[in-house]
Structure 1
Amino acid sequence: MTHATTTQDEPAAQGGGKKQSGIGQRRSNALSQSNTAYATRRAEIIEAAAAVFIERGFSRTTLSDVAEAVGTDRATLYYYVKSKEELLDEVVTRVVVANTEAAEQIRDSEGSAPERLRRLMTDLMLSFEKHYPFIYVYLQENLAHVKENRKGWAAEMRAVNRRYEKAIASIIAQGIEEGTVRDLDDPMIMAYGLIGMLSWTNRWFSPKLGIPASSIAYTYVEMLLSGMVASDEKSTAERT
């Protein structure tokens, strides 16, 4: 997903200097303090922004759209957020890093490769549901084409993505070595297929459909692993 050429970040400080604007300073102070009312309102804004991102698309959404959704004006919104990118990045960074760390823990845990792949895929789909729609908006982002002030964040996210991919490829490689996963191709190619299968749910999944993420994960796991798991492992699973 590419960004529009115009943005609606907070107004620059008067005089074109680099000093933080008055509203920016107030926001920084509020964020640094333990203000329950402020934190609650900011969480409401983030949730409202998520709904607008899904309805209009991230690139077409403006802060004015978000302000309208929460029943305020754009000037007031600046007290809580600097830009729509901040809304997305703040949530996504935390969740993507947590998902990656969970994948690496599963990679290093006990159990056969198919068992660990089941846990990993289920955890990821549940995360998509829990943090809907922010991770889907992130999946639609083109990290190679972001605004200059987000290039550092994009590079960081690409590095985290690679860690996730390598964790899955490592489990698959271990499965091939132990004989529980078929040696179909390069483990990284197989990992890309697994990730792509779940990531494609961004095109159609919504909690409003009434289909639990756990059910989707189960279906996808069985579809995928029935084609990857070696015969001996299939027999063992059927017996148990």
Structure 2
Amino acid sequence: MTAGAAGGPEEAAPSGIGRRRAAAQGENRAAYRERRQEIISVAADLFKANGFRGTSIGQIAEALDTDRATLYYYIGSKEELFDEVVTDAVRANVEVARSIRSGDGTAPEKLRRLLMALMESYAVHYPFLYVYIQENLSHVGGTRAEWSREMRQLNKAYEEALVAIIQAGVDEGTIRPVADAWVIAYGVLGMFGWTNRWFNPNTSPVDATTIGSAYVNILLRGMVTDAS
């Protein structure tokens, strides 16, 4: 059974395996962590190629040349795996945004730091954040409703930090008031988010830092005033 629009878990792991998995996690075994990371990597590739909803636990198991029962020793469901990785990444991005917003520097300097960090995060957490963007997985229901709610709150917090930086630049005279701050912010996020269509840090001849720098330079040359 695959996850439908309600966003429920694909399958529940057998209770005995669940207890063994919890015990292994508690023991913090290096081999367990290494195998689980391998599973995450393989699942990520399938999520990117087939879409999150189009990928089943069975496909992940097949790609790893194992069976679903063995896979459940390491993960409870594809949702659990995906949500764990994405939550950590999104939380970290929000903390970076808030730190930059409240830190030193002019608005253009802050904007550069923030957007460079965002692009580099896409590479570090590839392809999880891209799958999250592509499939709008911040809006799911069922058993993932609480996770979805947190994701929407984190998205809003990130957007608010970006809008605040741009608005501060307009107020201090370093950023041109070409539109409302939120309009500029959404345009910026759209520009960087669109890289999900073509950027793969494992195969791209251009790295995330170079892409981020190029995009920031394009943006700032159109946004920054002589006062900066």
Same fold (TM over 0.5): yes
What is the CA deviation profile of residues 172-230 of structure 1, one whole-angstrom value per residue up to 9, with x for unaligned ones? Answer: 11101110001122211211111111111111111112211011101111111111111
Give the structure-1-normalised TM-score.
Answer: 0.88
| 1:123 matched residue in structure 2 | 117
Question: Which of 180, 189, 192 matches 1:198?
Answer: 192
Question: Within 1, Cα distance between the matches of 2:124 and 2:76?
Answer: 25
CA contact (8 A) 2:138 2:151 kept: no
CA contact (8 A) 2:51 2:135 kept: no
Gaps of 5+ in 2: none
The structure-2 alpha-carbon separation of the partners of 1:145 and 1:169, relative to structure 1 and needing over 3 Å to count, comes to closer
- How many residues are matched? 224
| 1:8 matched residue in structure 2 | 10
Q: Which runs of structure 2 are paired with 1:87-236 in the superposition (5 Å)?
A: 87-143=81-137, 145-207=139-201, 208-233=203-228
Q: Which runs of structure 2 are paired with 1:10-25 in the superposition (5 Å)?
A: 10-11=12-13, 21-25=15-19
Please state how far the C-alpha of 1:143 moved relative to its aligned partner: 4.0
Question: Within 2, Cα distance between the matches of 1:11 and 1:88?
Answer: 16
Question: Within 2, Cα distance between the matches of 1:146 and 1:25?
Answer: 27
Please state how far the C-alpha of 1:3 moved relative to its aligned partner: 4.7
CA contact (8 A) 1:3 1:146 kept: no
Question: Which of 67, 71, 74 matches 1:80?
Answer: 74
Please state how far the C-alpha of 1:25 moved relative to its aligned partner: 1.3
Please state how far the C-alpha of 1:105 moved relative to its aligned partner: 0.5
Please state how far the C-alpha of 1:54 moved relative to its aligned partner: 1.2
Q: Could you say which structure has the larger radius of gyration?
A: 1
**Paired residue secondary structure (1:232):** coil
Question: Within 2, Cα distance between the matches of 1:112 and 1:232?
Answer: 11
**Paired residue secondary structure (2:136):** coil
State the percentage of identical aligned residues: 50
Structure 2 residue 28 is matched with structure 1 residue 34: yes
Q: Pick 1 or 2: higher relative contact order, CA cutoff 8 A, min separation 6.
A: 2
* Segment drifting more, 155-164 vs 132-141: 132-141
Question: Within 2, Cα distance between the matches of 1:3 and 1:201?
Answer: 26
Gaps of 5+ in 1: 13-20, 234-240
| 2:50 matched residue in structure 1 | 56
Counterpart code for 2:4:
A
Question: Within 1, Cα distance between the matches of 2:13 and 2:119?
Answer: 38
**Paired residue secondary structure (2:167):** helix
Counterpart code for 1:215:
T
* Segment drifting more, 140-149 vs 64-73: 140-149
Q: Which runs of 4+ in 1 moved over 2 A?
A: 2-8, 141-145
Give the structure-2-normalised TM-score.
Answer: 0.93
CA contact (8 A) 1:143 1:158 kept: no
CA contact (8 A) 2:132 2:138 kept: no
The structure-2 alpha-carbon separation of the partners of 1:46 and 1:143, relative to structure 1 and needing over 3 Å to count, comes to closer
| 1:237 matched residue in structure 2 | none
What is the CA deviation profile of residues 117-161 of structure 1, one whole-angstrom value per residue up to 9, with x for unaligned ones? Answer: 011100100010111001101112334642400010000010001
